[in-house]
Amino acid sequence: MTTLLSGDRPVMTQTHSLKVPKNATPIVSIVQGVGLSKTYYYHFSKDLPAEGKQVFADAVKVYNQTGIVHLVPNSGWHGAGHNRITFSVYHKEMGKRAATVELGHGGPEIEQTSDTWETDSENHAVASLNGDYNAAFSDAVAIHELGHALGLAHSKSCHSVMYPIAHGQTRLSRGDLTSLKLIY
Ligand SMILES: [Zn+2]
């Protein structure tokens, strides 16, 4: 049985307003060229079990170690003006005969706030694990879904954490890092 990391929100046509190098991980079109801040405030949904919190905390470390983004815990919303991520759980049973199993989903959502002088874009993102499958509670799945939340799309490279089929990849590839740098 193939464990698929899909059901991801960002399914849309790429517009390539950013020049993404050939070997870099594709970037979700809605985050391209919007100039997002590198700082994110994240929180866990109330129903997320302890093992889900653990794997998302591990995923946060992986991305913070790059120095490209800066993810900080937030105990309550401090109003508008910030990128934010909600880590959550959902339940979706695929049935015994399913050829593929969806382990998680995630994606960005861009909101624009503007005043007289300028328009700012914020990402209100979600990364979520399918609680019906134990395999979803792994660092690799959490890193993949957080990658979507930050704006990465699926990669054809098996070295990428954004490869759509679960294969235990927990290290960001060079292509993943290139694309993160392009977004932030
Ligand atoms: Zn995915």
* DSSP letters spanning 120-171: EEEEEEEEEEETT-GGGSSHHHHHHHHHHHHTB---S-TTSTT-SB-----S
Q: Average model confidence (pLDDT) for the chain?
A: 87
Gap between the Cα atoms of 3 and 167, Å rounded = 9
Residues bordering ligand 1, an ion, CB closer than 5 Å: 5, 8
CA of 112 from ligand 1 middle (Å) equals 25
pLDDT of the residue at 14: 41
CA of 140 from ligand 1 middle (Å) equals 11
Gap between the Cα atoms of 156 and 49, Å rounded = 31
pLDDT at 7 over 60: no
Nearest C-alpha neighbor of 84 from the set 46, 49, 36:
36
Higher-confidence position of 78 and 45? 45
CA of 113 from ligand 1 middle (Å) equals 28
pLDDT of the residue at 20: 83
Please, what is the end-to-end C-alpha distance for the chain in angstroms?
36
CA of 43 from ligand 1 middle (Å) equals 21
pLDDT of the residue at 17: 58
| The one-letter amino acid at 84 | R
CA of 118 from ligand 1 middle (Å) equals 33
Higher-confidence position of 105 and 81? 105
CA angle 82, 87, 89 (to 5 degrees): 150
Nearest C-alpha neighbor of 146 from the set 108, 93, 92, 90:
108
Gap between the Cα atoms of 125 and 109, Å rounded = 6
CA of 160 from ligand 1 middle (Å) equals 11
pLDDT at 13 over 80: no
CA of 166 from ligand 1 middle (Å) equals 9
pLDDT of the residue at 3: 53
CA of 109 from ligand 1 middle (Å) equals 15
Gap between the Cα atoms of 50 and 48, Å rounded = 7
Gap between the Cα atoms of 158 and 100, Å rounded = 18
